[in-house]
Amino acid sequence: MTTIAATATVDSWAKKCPRIEMKILNSTNKTLHLQRLTNPDGKWVTEPPTVLRPHESAVVSAVSGCPDGFSVMMSYRIGKTCARADFTAHNHTWSGGAGTATTGVIGSKIYDVFSHLDSGSPVFSAEYLLS
């Protein structure tokens, strides 16, 4: 019963605040391992998975009580390599404040992240493809 009440509280809070929704697709043959997660000005509604297997996708979402918006970032190690894929989302209310800047791969020229912004503030929605 406590879980239902907590979920209802997050859901009602989420409807009134800036939101970020990210769909991530791992189109590589490597498993992704979550290394770092940041959301300093908000709360995760749907947390990123700790592991994202080859050709799997995940949808993550976050909300913030900050009226100016917020940013989130997830870093995944690609397989057993030293390469890292960063998935970022910026959802801010000022002009040009919604985007995926700083998304990409560090430590590899084999992989890349492609992103597509579907909608901006107040409900940010984007898709990310690691290939």
**From first to last of its 131 residues, what are the pLDDT tens digits of the chain?**
333 444 445 555 556 689 999 999 999 999 999 999 999 999 999 999 999 999 999 999 999 988 888 999 999 999 998 999 999 999 987 766 889 999 999 999 999 999 999 988 889 999 999 99
Domain that holds residue 80: 2-130
Q: What are the tokens at 90? A: 């910026």
Q: pTM of this prediction? A: 0.85
Task: Give Cα 124 to chain centroid, integer Å.
Answer: 10
Number of domain units in the chain = 1
Amino acid sitting at position 3: T
d(CA 99, CA 88) in angstroms, rounded, equals 8
How distant, in Å, are the alpha carbons of 6, 77, 80, 96, 119 from that of 12? 10, 34, 40, 27, 21
Domain with 71 in it: what CATH number? Answer: 2.60.270.50
